[in-house]
Amino acid sequence: MNRRAAEAFWTVLSAVDPGLRAETSVARLREDGRLLEDAVGLATANGLSFPFLRRLREWDVRLPARAEDRWRQDSESAIRVRDTLERLNDASRATGISYTVIKNCMTVDHVPRDLDVFIPSGEREGFLAALGSQGLRLAYHDEAEISLQGPGLLKVDVYSRIHYLGRDFLRPEYLLGSRTTASAHGATHPTLLSEAAFLLNSAHGLFGHGAMSLLDFMDLTRLRQRISDPAAVRAEAASLGWGRVLDRWLGRLQEMERRVYGDRVPMRFPVRHGTRFVLGSVAALDGAHLGPRDFMALRASLWWDDLVFLSEVAGLDEAVRRSRTLTGIANSAGHRLRVLRGDRKGLYADSEKRRWERAETPMR
């Protein structure tokens, strides 16, 4: 990493991490437009544009035009986060059914692109019907996924199982017993305790996404530090056959923490875990290994994730999102590969055959 990229890294991290001593003076940001542009770009690519731009505004740093546009977009998205959570809360009150926000990087204030919620499978249809009355409609559904969207709201992805590579990584009962309350952008909502959040975000980060942003790194680091009983957390993972995978993951995360916070070595984020590390983690799973077809699907999905990652780094993902056709193609390809390799969010996790057709739901 060159000197300018390193300076941009420390500028962003010191601005959004209250526990880190500032590395760059406010005067430096005001004087060096190139550094400011680089830092804004790094924050945006890593899901941290909202907290970083807010800090710049607090410091009275004049934002570049593109950064002003991003701030407006983030501010509007923050309102959508609040409104979407309020719709979820309304549906929960109307039905008496609890939901839980998951995968939400809850330790770092940010604006997510969508909301992921966990709903017990036996209560799912009643809750979805209530969401339909709240104005959310099916945006996508197949045997692996269901997503809902409403005017002026974020997309909501619904989970009833945490299921990758043909196996569960967390028990629904464990998640239901690990609920707490948090607040995001003015709306209170149920979420997970640090232990459960760390396990879920780790499983998803390794097998569901394959890359780690600076936002992910900060959140995982803080969640790990909040765990009071590491042995109990590992026992939970081991009970479902991924204790050794968690050991590998912890080793990777702690090495990154040592480099960044201990040795003060900047890193490039987002960072891919790499095919070798992911396949090594798959091999560390207890029980039967993937069959030839599943293994080929896994390799294809990793290749696809690499392609998506490169498009995001190059800034091409914005162009894709602006095109409904390209977005549909990209989403369909990604979804299909994950179905083939055995990933499920729980809607049809017990069967390859659809058991809940769109015609049967009031959200049609």
Domain spans of the chain? 1-63
Question: Is residue 276's pLDDT more than 90?
Answer: no
CB atoms within 10 A of CB 355: 10
Cis peptide before 270 (omega within 30 of 0): yes
Euclidean distance between CA atoms 86 and 186, whole angstroms = 10
Name the more confident of 291 and 361: 291
Q: How many CA atoms lie within 13 A of 318 on its CB side?
A: 6
Look at residue 352 and tell me whether its pLDDT is greater than 80: no
H or E segment to which residue 73 belongs: helix 65-95
Which of 162-166, 193-197, 276-280, 351-355 has the highest mean predicted lDDT (pLDDT)?
193-197
Give yes or no for a contact between 81 and 112, defined as CB atoms under 8 angstroms apart: yes
Amino acid letter, 283:
A
Alpha-carbon distance of 32 to 36, in angstroms, equals 6
Which residues lie below 8 Å from residue 297, measured CB to CB, with a gap of 6+? 337, 340, 341, 342
- How far is residue 214 CA from its own chain's centroid? 12
What's the predicted TM-score (pTM) here? 0.84
The answer, yes or no, to whether residue 326 has pLDDT greater than 50, is no
End-to-end CA distance of the chain: 51
Q: Model confidence over 79-94: pLDDT tens digits?
A: 999 999 999 999 999 9
Question: Radius of gyration (Cα) for the chain, nearest Å?
Answer: 21
- Relative to beta strand 146-149, strand 137-141 is antiparallel
Looking at residues 235-258, what average pLDDT do you find? 97
pLDDT at 308 (0 to 100): 64
Structure tokens at 79: 């309102």
pLDDT at 350: 41
pLDDT tens column, 137-168: 988 776 667 899 999 999 999 999 999 888 89
In terms of Cα–Cα distance, which of 188, 192, 171, 178 is closest to 237?
A: 171
Q: Would you say residue 35 has pLDDT above 50?
A: yes
DSSP codes, 97-136 = ---EEES--TTS----SEEEEE--GGGHHHHHHHHHHTT-
The type of residue at 45 is A
CB 5 within 8 A of CB 266: yes
For 364, the token pair is: 């049609």
- Mean of per-residue pLDDT scores for the chain: 84
Could you tell me the two tokens for 57?
């505004």
Cβ-based neighbours of 59, under 8 Å, separated by 6 or more: 26, 29
Confidence of residue 23 (pLDDT cuts 50, 70, 90): low
Query: Residue 306 above 70 pLDDT?
Result: no
How far, in Å, CA of 180 to CA of 244, rounded? 28
Please count the other Cβ atoms lying within 10 Å of the Cβ belonging to residue 292.
Answer: 7
pLDDT of residue 363: 36
At residue 327 the predicted structure's pLDDT band, cuts being 50, 70 and 90, is very low
Task: Write the pLDDT tens digit of every residue in 330-346.
Answer: 444 444 444 444 455 65
Q: What integer is the mean pLDDT of 45-53? A: 96
How many H-runs (helices) and E-runs (strands) does the chain carry?
A: 15, 11
Q: Are 218 and 16 in contact (CB under 8 A)?
A: yes
Residue 30's identity, in one-letter code, is: R
Contacts of 74 (CB under 8 A, 6+ apart): 49, 50, 53, 111
